[in-house]
Structure 1
Amino acid sequence: MAHSTRQTVLVTGVTGHVGFSVLLNALNAGYNVRATVRSESKKKVILSHPHIQYADSGSRLSLIVIPNIAKSHAFDEVAQGVDYIIHIASPIATAGSVNPADYESHFIRTAVHGTLNVLGAAAKSTTVRRIVLTSSIVALIPLAQLEGRERQSKPVSPSDRVPFPTAPYKDEFEAYAASKIAALSVAEKWVKTRKPRFDVVYLYPGFVEGRNHLVSNKRDMLKGTNTIVTGIALGNHFGSFIGATVHNEDVATAHIRALDAGVPGNTSYILSQPSRWNDIKHIAKKHFPGAVASRTLPLTGSASTLEIEVDTSSTEQVFNFAFKSFEDQVVDVLGHYLEVQHRSKRCNDFPSMPKAVQQTLQAV
């Protein structure tokens, strides 16, 4: 259903896997959208993207550069006059690119202050009705269970909370998990203490899998949570991951439906379903037999699945949709990888072409 043009939603983090899909869904639902990005170059990437142009967003989309979401009052001006805020922007684990000495400032401080800045800006606005905060399932599960050192005694529930693990952190993932725990804790405390006129919906996705519309080269296909799917198909060997995944489109859909007044506020919802990582090989053989036969997808990688039970009954009931299967997730990721690989091969067939021409062909 299209929404009144007087309804405006502020979306942070739109240059990410989840954020860009949420942006597209918000535009397609008829909202005016203010979106924040970290730089002018990222702003150009969004505005020039074919999906944004096809969305016929016109004057309904404006992009605002906020280089540092943790800077005091970062969102005060941009939140004025909006009806809703979807806060997605937060540091993600990037496989060793962050110096361990910077874990606390990069992950914890940014996540916490970014969240408090959004809440504070909404409080100063007279129009905000609801905030949707994107957390993660890792904020609900003790690290010992995430790493397989401890078995769960009951299904993961939206009401579960994990004590904040203090520094030092042994790796980026632990620091990332701590940032999600910390941001959730301060948000809930802020809401309980301040009792604002708006409410908050908290969403906890599992590992987000599915087509990343912002990725157009093979290098970037091996970044983010899609890395596990493409990595196993291409021969990478990982350790253990919990078997809790969700399709990117389901996550985007839930964010937009969470704006509906019929969805109870000040409530938490898990976005996840069971999955087994090595099933990727069977799914690839079923849907991409030619790529497997040619060893474009050699299927020689592996990852162990940590079995985990998650209670998503309230999510499916309230949001009125059934989660896409792990098979759907894998097909979308690998299908996208093969498209990108094919475009790359087409350009490599003409090495004498000017670089600008090759880039144009890659964009086709």
Structure 2
Amino acid sequence: MPAGETVLISGINGFVATDIALAFLKAGYHVRGTVRSQAKADAWLALPAFKEYAESGQVKIVLVKDITVEDAFVGAPLEGVDYFVHTIAQLPDWRPGVKQNYETDILLPNINGTLNALKCAAKYPQCKKVLNLGSIAGAVDFSVPKHDQPISGRSWNPRDYEYGKNAPHPLLAYTTSKKLADEAAWKYMDEVKPHFAHINMLPCFIYGPAHGHDPFGVHNASQQWLAGPLFRKDWNFKTASGGPVVVDLRDLCTAFVKAAERDEANGHRFALGPSNTTIFPSDYVALYAKAFPDRVEKLPAVPNDLENAPVFVIDSSETERLLDMKFRPAEETILDTARWLIESGAEKEWEQLQTVY
């Protein structure tokens, strides 16, 4: 049990960050989180899962309005912090008709936000590690329809800055930005050699019972790839096909706590998810039909000519070895999450959505 150690989590009200915070709190750490406004702080602290921790003072919130501003985390955020978990990333906006400047709206915020976290941590000798929530996109090129070799923490997405600026799709601008931020972080560590260790987590598509503001994925969170085929008979698998490798949110949180506590994790990039698994939302329908026979008539049809891409598998054996953990099989994650969604009343939320994904 940590003896009064403190973890700073940037963007603590995010989908993934919320459950990372809960994992550290349950492990006995003090948690400090950043959000952009007092209204967001109040709303997050009022979440049922955090009520007792907020009342005891084990979790506290500080305001950081812009993470790309120099010294954004200096002062109240990092003072007395032992571990810094940086989770914030600028997501693309792929709504029809929305135009974005990929360089200024996606690439630069993600690169500079990551670098700023490291630069701020370097000013605090007590900070032992900076753990970054990256993405498997830092290791794999999502524009390639099929990969011959497994993707691991040692793999790199080959796309460069120029490609990201002019990417053919906002998703590819985002995936490139995650690679560039990852690359910039390691370059900083190599050149500056700060006192702390750096670790980058590379999760695949994230599912699992969640405790945040949007647990049902109705606002473009990762859960939509799982909830959509479960609750929407009109789900369009050709425009919302999801990804080939999933990671359980519970396993992801375990990985963060273990990476903070284990010296073996220092200086590594970790692929998060079960090895040698390929599964898409179109595959979930058969799982749902078998597990929930009373829902068969509510499930969407899978087009006969559907071709899911990109296709790749990961090799997370090094992650499991160095973090002393085992990832749940994808089918277990999918069905556990689906069961939780049903029992939590997510169907009513999804029935009210007007958007056909």
Could you tell me how far 1:335 is from its partner in structure 2?
A: 2.8
Specify whether residues 116 and 231 from structure 1 end up closer, same or farther in structure 2 by C-alpha distance, changes over 3 A only. Answer: same
Distance, in Å, in 1 between the alignment partners of 2:130 and 2:214 is 31
Kindly indicate whether the alpha-carbon contact (under 8 Å) linking 2:278 and 2:313 is maintained by their aligned counterparts in 1: no
Could you tell me how far 1:275 is from its partner in structure 2?
A: 3.4
Distance, in Å, in 1 between the alignment partners of 2:96 and 2:266 is 37
Q: Summarize the alignment of residues 65-104 of structure 1 with structure 2, pairs less than 5 Å apart.
A: 65-77=63-75, 78-96=77-95, 99-104=98-103
Could you tell me how far 1:48 is from its partner in structure 2?
A: 0.3
Any idea what the Cα deviations from partners look like across 1:37-59, whole Å, max 9, x if unmatched?
A: 12222111211000001456621
Partner of 2:154: 159
Any idea what the Cα deviations from partners look like across 1:68-126, whole Å, max 9, x if unmatched?
A: 11122111111122111011111123432894333222211111111111111111112
Pick aligned residue for 1:327 from 328, 331, 346: 331
Partner of 2:355: none
Partner of 2:261: 260
Structure 1 length as normaliser, TM-score? Answer: 0.85
Partner of 1:276: 279
Could you tell me how far 1:136 is from its partner in structure 2?
A: 0.5
Distance, in Å, in 1 between the alignment partners of 2:237 and 2:92 is 15
Any idea what the Cα deviations from partners look like across 1:246-296, whole Å, max 9, x if unmatched?
A: 011111111111101333311111002323222211221232222335x2x
The code of the aligned residue for 2:199 comes to V
SS state at 1:71 partner: coil
SS state at 2:8 partner: strand
Could you tell me how far 1:175 is from its partner in structure 2?
A: 1.5
Distance, in Å, in 2 between the alignment partners of 1:51 and 1:98 is 38
Q: Unpaired runs of 5+ in structure 1?
A: 346-364
Q: Summarize the alignment of residues 205-354 of structure 1 with structure 2, pairs less than 5 Å apart.
A: 205-215=203-213, 220-221=217-218, 223-233=220-230, 234=232, 235-239=234-238, 240-273=241-274, 274-277=277-280, 278-293=282-297, 295=298, 298-300=299-301, 304=308, 306-338=310-342, 339-341=344-346
Kindly indicate whether the alpha-carbon contact (under 8 Å) linking 1:28 and 1:55 is maintained by their aligned counterparts in 2: no
Distance, in Å, in 2 between the alignment partners of 1:200 and 1:169 is 29
Q: Unpaired runs of 5+ in structure 2?
A: 351-357
Kindly indicate whether the alpha-carbon contact (under 8 Å) linking 1:85 and 1:130 is maintained by their aligned counterparts in 2: yes
Distance, in Å, in 2 between the alignment partners of 1:282 and 1:68 is 44
Partner of 1:21: 19
SS state at 1:270 partner: strand
Partner of 2:116: 117
The code of the aligned residue for 1:67 comes to K
Distance, in Å, in 2 between the alignment partners of 1:105 and 1:189 is 21
Distance, in Å, in 2 between the alignment partners of 1:74 and 1:183 is 17
Q: Which sits farther off after the overlay, 95-104 or 28-37?
A: 95-104
Specify whether residues 241 and 306 from structure 1 end up closer, same or farther in structure 2 by C-alpha distance, changes over 3 A only. Answer: farther
Partner of 1:140: 139
Specify whether residues 29 and 243 from structure 1 end up closer, same or farther in structure 2 by C-alpha distance, changes over 3 A only. Answer: same
Distance, in Å, in 1 between the alignment partners of 2:327 and 2:108 is 33
Specify whether residues 44 and 122 from structure 1 end up closer, same or farther in structure 2 by C-alpha distance, changes over 3 A only. Answer: same
Distance, in Å, in 1 between the alignment partners of 2:318 and 2:55 is 33
Q: How many residue pairs were aligned?
A: 336
Q: Summarize the alignment of residues 2-13 of structure 1 with structure 2, pairs less than 5 Å apart.
A: 2-5=1-4, 7-13=5-11
Partner of 1:357: none
Q: Which sits farther off after the overlay, 328-337 or 39-48?
A: 328-337
Structure 2 length as normaliser, TM-score? Answer: 0.86
Specify whether residues 187 and 286 from structure 1 end up closer, same or farther in structure 2 by C-alpha distance, changes over 3 A only. Answer: same
SS state at 1:180 partner: helix
Distance, in Å, in 2 between the alignment partners of 1:26 and 1:43 is 18
The code of the aligned residue for 1:122 comes to A
Q: Which sits farther off after the overlay, 240-249 or 301-310?
A: 301-310
Distance, in Å, in 2 between the alignment partners of 1:73 and 1:97 is 36
Kindly indicate whether the alpha-carbon contact (under 8 Å) linking 2:32 and 2:59 is maintained by their aligned counterparts in 1: yes
Kindly indicate whether the alpha-carbon contact (under 8 Å) linking 2:54 and 2:60 is maintained by their aligned counterparts in 1: no
Q: Summarize the alignment of residues 152-191 of structure 1 with structure 2, pairs less than 5 Å apart.
A: 152-161=147-156, 162-166=158-162, 167-191=165-189
Distance, in Å, in 2 between the alignment partners of 1:288 and 1:253 is 29
Distance, in Å, in 1 between the alignment partners of 2:242 and 2:300 is 18
Kindly indicate whether the alpha-carbon contact (under 8 Å) linking 2:209 and 2:215 is maintained by their aligned counterparts in 1: no
Q: Which sits farther off after the overlay, 66-75 or 161-170?
A: 161-170
Kindly indicate whether the alpha-carbon contact (under 8 Å) linking 1:14 and 1:36 is maintained by their aligned counterparts in 2: yes
Distance, in Å, in 2 between the alignment partners of 1:98 and 1:225 is 22
Partner of 2:354: none
SS state at 1:253 partner: helix
